[in-house]
Structures are given as structure tokens and as C-alpha cells.
A and B are shown apart, each in its own frame.
Chain A
């Protein structure tokens, strides 16, 4: 490969990486909020599926992508409400409830899809790339960064806004206090359960949005299990990112790079390694990530523990 071809390859790769990272960015930033408040939601995979399905169904019915995004987010939050009720109000084990919601999300979306849409075989119109004037004409950089659809661009906003809310507002401060020391927050007169509900709703809303992107900005059809583990990978992203929204953005991009690399290398016929090796890459990298970023030192102190007022 000569230099020009390599640079073009690189530009396409980076562009694709950002696109493929988008669902992960939404889901992992949402999960940062949830975990900072002390709630570990392993039901993210099911939540993303619900978002993907609701987004698809709404866009299919109305032909509108924004409405699809709203429906995906709302679907995620509705699912999150179940999670919050069981883990915060009933104080059930978060992992048990998360596992149940994964089954439920997988089953419900597959059931409804098979009952209504699978025989139609019709897809939806997905969000088209928006070329940013001048910038998109830049060699290489234009291809990589300025020819995406609006949902992809919005990830930057979500990352910045998430970071500001979490670290620069009193809401964010309280949220973190609730995850670090709920008892102190409770004694100070703060509504621990309320903040945890809010955090879970932010988390599952963003996970639903991330799922909706899969059907509205990426593939024009809902497919059973379309998330293919992204909900779980988002959990690893949060650890790697040390529970920071901007960190989650960067780490998600790295994972997007693995996805993109896998897809592009699969298309290359000259590659000698079996395509399954490339397929396994994102999953392998997740494990390696957890090993490299050792320990839970940065984790919120009360992560995964229900708060019992005494």
C-alpha cells in the first residue's frame, strides 16, 4: 500500500470508528451517571435493545428520525423505571434484576419484531450524513470527521454536557455523594432514592438513545440481538474511563476503532487471518482493558449496594 492509499484508509477508518462508537458513547456516558449514583445496571444490553426496537417502530410508523430517537430514549427510560423500582424501591439485588431485564429486553423485542415486522421485510430511511461546509472538503480530515450524521456529531455535546453536569453542578455533586456515601447524603436531608432514580433514568435514556442509533443511524432494520454485546462492552468502557463522561467518550472511540478495523479488514480479501479472529477483537479488547486498568479504586464506594435507611 502506498502512502496516499494508506492515508485514505486511515481517514475512512477513523470516520467509521466514530460512527461505530456512537451507541457505545451514549450508553457508557449514561452508565457513568448511573454508577456514580451507586447503581450498577447490567441490564444495559436489554435496555439498548428496547431503545433500538422502539426507535425502529416509531420511525417505521411516522417516517421521522427525530421521533424515532425520542421513542428510543423514552423506551429506554421506561425500561429503566422497572429497573429503578426493583433496585431502589424494593432494594433487590441489582445484578439479578439486570439479568432479568436483559432476558426481558431480548425476548420482548424479538417477540414484537417477529409478530409485526419480520414478514414485511421493509426497512426505514436512516439519518443521512450532514456535510459541514468547507470542513468536509478538507483532505482526509473531512472524510474522517465532517461527513457524519447529526446523531454522531451530537455525541460530542453529550460528552461535554455530561461532564459539566456531573462535575460542575450541584445536581452532579449530590449524585456523586449519593454513590459515595448515601448515609451522609441522607442525613444531610438529600433524597437518596430520588437522585438514584434520576441517575438510572439518565442512564437508561441514553442507553435507549444509543440503541435507537443502531436502527436509525446505522442499519435500516431492527435485527434480533442487534446490539451484539454493546451493552456489556459499555460496562467495561465505564471502568476503563474511570467513571468520567469525557473518558467514556474517548474509550468508546477506541472500541469503535476495533469495530471499524474488524469490518475493514474483513472486507480486505488479502488478509490471511480467519475473519473470526477479527470478529473476536472487540470482546478480547474488553477483557484486556479490564486487566490493564486494574482495580476498582476509582469506583464509587457504594456501587451495586442498595441503600437501606435506618
Chain B
């Protein structure tokens, strides 16, 4: 008995160390591309500013460090990271399955609408019931909104690229209708819904900061999605469908069901992000509740190499860049839309560097 244990210990420890070492070096290697991509994008942003008469070196400094002033501004970054991590991690699942869900923005709005409906009704529930109910409603609505596009793809072969984008516009128009019409708070000058009931609010982590527990849920769900994709048989099936639908069908996998699952998971994550925006940040529904988180999530997923775990980091990075661009707008009048340019360049650089790596591998 003693001997067996001894033997096991001897083999397990070196293996664990080896595994640890391998994982670390893998992380280091896979981090090179995104870091280089971000640096290229920042350099491009600086050049763009310099060419247009702004102080170009500002962009790098402010975008990366400008928003890390104190605990409060760090909390604001995490607040922005919450929807980006949620949407980015969800889209990783869809993109791995080769489902091009471009509709996270619309799914976010669907989630926000549902969260507002639940959050403004059911007075008298305890916070332990009401707050989770609001999140659930958001996730279900997001999944449902994405599910429409999934169903149209499965049933009618309608391209999800086009349908999800159209559903984005429809969700935005629906929100505008609701806040100017049926859900409008009549006492407010600006079109907005009534305030959510206090018990429906997403609990805050520190009472005097806006940061809420959504960030913890986002990180936990990203980890869960990573495990789902890498370790579960369903996750395996999703990846196979993404790599080769014909082979998957031949292997007896139901392609249609996997398409629906990937679509609904990514939609649920975006819907949850919408619920957190309403229940955690604004406590009301507005027309422009999202500054394009849904589109930014696409860049987050791509930068993460469609790995939900890495989406935590890339979501954090994009949130930092977004905060930085806000600071830049206030301090140097640099239009905040610069962040979109930087995101576009990040995606293109990721693509180019990945190619470069392949080429170097062949040469070497």
C-alpha cells in the first residue's frame, strides 16, 4: 500500500510540474499575438491622431494608463468589462461552431427589455428572488432573440449574418417604441422607462461604487463556457460542427441542434449583459443603453482566439481602451469613436500575425 502511494507520488508530481510548465509556456506563446496586435493598433491610433493635429503620443499613454487612476476608476473599467466578457465569451462558443452571430447588440437590447419588464413589476419580492429573476429574464430573452436567427438558419437556410444584423435594428427600434410608448415613464422629460424596483437591482460589491456582482458572474460563466467547450461532449460536438459540418453529420451529430445551442448560448450571454446594464448600472431602460458593446464583443472574441477563458482578459483590455478613450475625449477633445478604429485594427492585426506565425512555422 505504502509502495503504491510512493510510486503514484513520484509520477504525479513531475507530471503536474510538466503540465504546469506546458500550460504557462502555451499561455506565453498565445499571448504574443494579441499583445502585438494591440500594440500595432495603438501605434496606428497614435499615427492617426498625429496626422490630424492631435498629440499622438497621448493615445498610448492615456488609453492604457490614463484610466487606472484610483480604485474608483478601476471599478468603472470592471463595470465596462462585464458586458464585454459576457458577450465575448458567448460569441466564442458561437464562432467555434462557425455560427456568425453578429447580433449580440440586438440580443443585449432584448435582454434589457425583458429585465426592465420583470424589474418594474412583481413588487414585494425579496432581493434574493427578484434580482436573479431579472437576470434570468434577460438571459432567456437574449437566447430567444438569437434563437429566431438560429431557427431561420436551420429551417430556411437564411444566412445568420444578415438575419442577426436585421434583428439588431429591429431590437433597437422596438426599444425606442417601448420607451417612447407603452413603457415610458410619463413624469420624465426624456424617453425612458420607470425605475426598476430596488429589490430587482443587481447587488453592488461595494456600496458606494457602481461596480456590481455582474463582473463575478461574467468571469464565472466564461470559465464555465471554457470547460463546456473543452471538456463536455456537447462542446466537442459544437467544435466539430464548426470545423466540418459534413463530417459532423456523417458522425451522427445533429448539426441543426448544435447550431441552435451555440446561437442560444451566445444570445443568453448577450441578454444577461443587457440585464446587467439595466439592473446594475442605469436602473432604467433608455434608447441608447449600449454604446456598441455587442459589436465590441465580436472583437473581444476574435482577440481571445475564440477561447472563453481568454475572453476575460481581452474583455478587460477592451474595457480599459474604452475607458481610456473616454478620458482622452474629456482631456484632449479626441473623438471617442477612435476606439472603434483601434478595435478594427486589432482584429486585422490578429489575422495578420496569425498568418505570419504560420508562414514562419513553415519557413523554420
Contacts and interface: CB of A to CB of B under 8 A. Distances in A.
A118 B162 CA distance: 31
A237 to B, nearest CB: 10
B77 interface: no
Interface in B305-364: 335, 337-345, 347-348, 351-352, 354-355
Interface stretch (A62-70, A140-148, A228-236): A228-236
B158 interface: yes
B335 A111 contact: yes
Interface residues of B, number: 43
B161 A235 contact: yes
Given A100-B344, A276-B177, A115 B52 contact: yes
Interface in B207-234: none
A239 B159 contact: yes
B48 A111 contact: yes
B347 A111 contact: no
Interface stretch (B125-133, B164-172, B244-252): B164-172
Given A107-B337, A115-B335, A291 B170 contact: no
Nearest to B299: A103
Contacts of A102: 295, 344
A101 B348 CA distance: 8
Interface string B141-183: 0000000000010001111011101110110011011000100
B270 interface: no
B340 A296 contact: no
A256 to B, nearest CB: 17
A86 B335 contact: no
B335 A91 contact: no
Contacts of A93: 351
Interface string A268-290: 00000010110110011011001
A104 interface: yes
Main secondary structure of the interface of B (DSSP, over half): helix
A108 B338 CA distance: 7
B162 A286 contact: yes
Q: Which of A93, A111, A235, A286 has the most CB of B within 10 A?
A: A111
B302 interface: yes
Contacts of A294: 156-158
A97 B177 CA distance: 34
9 contacts: A90-B355, A99-B347, A102-B295, A108-B341, A115-B54, A276-B177, A287-B162, A287-B166, A294-B158
Interface of B: 48, 52, 54, 100, 102, 152, 156-159, 161-163, 165-167, 169-170, 173-174, 176-177, 181, 295, 298-299, 302, 335, 337-345, 347-348, 351-352, 354-355
Interface pairs A-B: 10 shortest CB-CB? A107-B340, A104-B344, A100-B347, A107-B341, A103-B344, A290-B158, A276-B177, A114-B335, A110-B337, A92-B351
